Each structure stands twice: as structure tokens, then as C-alpha cells.
Amino acid sequence: MHWASAALLVEFCVTMKLLASARRRVWDAVALRDPHAQPDKARRVRDMFDSIAPVYERFNRIATLGQDARWRRAAVAAARPGPGEVVLDVACGTGDMIRSFARAQPQLARIIGVDFSPQMLRQGNYRGLRVPIELIQADALSLPLVEGAVDIVACAFGMRNFDDVCAALREMYRVLRPGGRLVILEFAWPSDRWFSWFYEVYCGAVLPRLGRLLVQDPVGAYEYLPQSVRTFEPPQVLAGRLQETGFVRIRLRLMNFGAVVLYCANKPQRGTE
């Protein structure tokens, strides 16, 4: 057998073994009815991401047909990172967004990635990037950074997973410098009738099966994903929360028929907005 194929097979088997060793389902049918209302949502979310970390990126590529990279590039372009600036990626996971920023602007002063899942952080691969990367295992609801420390805050597909969206936004606002930029990517349930029907079929029937087929998914991650989108607050509500937090110039851009939303906002310049 070709060496590369053998290596792939070994890697796949190790991954399967890792996933199969997860002792119990994080998301059972009862918790899935309303994942956001679970009092121990943060623990469940962390356990889930710790469990799927080895396959997280590969599954994303397959499930979105590579579109996820395009969404992140759009968010990075909207943030307009400049030379010498500091970027904070909240809920950075395995670092997809960090790599996207570093490639778009190699002269950034630093990119800080924060995530509370040690296994997701461990999977990050930053070889070949010229920008210094600093990873911190911490809760997005209590960022270990001083006020005004960063020029840009990014958060890709993290908001829906937080157990207190307002607290997370307050922290993002606090650590941004006056005039700093915020970019958020998050899934939404599409409002278009036809696409919503297609989405229902894809998320209800295809995605969980794909999860079971490709990665066994013993924790229920790929049932949590569509259900957490379906039961999450609509984009207008999240935009309202940005405003309540103090952000200005709030813009929403719908992608993939509204299934993905890019939120852009600014922290006001001191005394000018």
C-alpha cells in the first residue's frame, strides 16, 4: 500500500478510537429540545468540542463543501486588518480564523486566540505563519485581557455556543480599543421558504447521518449543530444586543441565502459617536 494511504488509514483509525472512547452522549434527546436553556450548557459545549476536536476541521470542509473558508475570508476582509494591529479571535477553536487573518495581513503585530476547550486549542496548526500567535485557554465570558487591548475582535461560530451572549458581547466591547472593529460570523435559520425547506432536510436528515458515517459522532455534536441554530435568536435580535452593548455602525451581511450572517460593528471613538 502507498505510504500516504497507510498513514491516512492509521490517522483515521486513531481518530475513530478517540471518538469511540467518549463515554457518554453530551446531547441527548431531552437536552436537544432546547440546548440554549440547559443550565450546564457551557460544560456540555466544552465536552462536545473536546470530543470532536480531532475531526472538527475536516468535517467542516466536507459538510460545507469548503464554503466555511470563504465565510471566514469575508469576515477578515470586512475587519480590514492593518499592519501593526492586534487581533483577538474569541472561541478560536482549532485556529481557522487565526490562519485566515495571518494570511490576509502578515504584518499584524499579534493574534490572540481564546478558547475554553483544551483539545480544540491543541489541534491548532500555525506552522509557516509570520504573525506571532498567542493561545489562551479561557472563558469568553471573562477574557483575561485589559480594557482597550486589541484593535479587532473576531468571533466565528462561537456566539451560539455561549451560555450568556450579552456577557460575551460586553467582554468583546471592553477589550476593544475605542474605534476598534468587531466581526462575528454565525449561522441562522434561512427565512427564504424554499431554502428553509432544503435546509430542514439537509440539517434534519443529512448532517446527523454524515456525522455518524464520517466520525461516528458519539456525543451528538451534529444533532446539536442544527438544533442550536434552529433555537438560537434571529439575526435582528443579535443585532439589537450589539446596539445595547454600545456598538455602533452595525451592519449585517447575509450569505448562503441567510444561512450564514456576518455582523460588523465598531466600538465608538471616544466622545465622537
Ligand X SMILES: C[S@@+](CC[C@H](N)C(=O)[O-])C[C@H]1O[C@@H](n2cnc3c(N)ncnc32)[C@H](O)[C@@H]1O
Interface ranges with ligand X (CB under 6 A): 42, 45-46, 49, 91-93, 96-97, 115-117, 120, 139-141, 156-158, 161-162
**Nearest CB to ligand X, comparing residues 90 and 265:** 90
**Nearest CB to ligand X, comparing residues 120 and 207:** 120
Rounded Cα–Cα distance for residues 152 and 97 (Å): 13
Q: How far is the CB of 46 from ligand X (least distance, A)?
A: 6
Q: How far is the CB of 137 from ligand X (least distance, A)?
A: 8
- Chain residue whose CB lies nearest ligand X: 93
Do 160 and 228 contact (CB within 8 A), yes or no?
A: yes
Rounded Cα–Cα distance for residues 191 and 115 (Å): 31
**Nearest CB to ligand X, comparing residues 157 and 232:** 157
Side-chain half-sphere CA neighbours of 176 within 13 A: 28
Q: How far is the CB of 37 from ligand X (least distance, A)?
A: 16
**Nearest CB to ligand X, comparing residues 116 and 263:** 116
Q: How far is the CB of 53 from ligand X (least distance, A)?
A: 8
Q: How far is the CB of 194 from ligand X (least distance, A)?
A: 27
**Nearest CB to ligand X, comparing residues 176 and 225:** 225
| Residue for grid cell 474605534 | 179
Nearest Cα neighbor of 118 from 219, 185, 49 is: 49
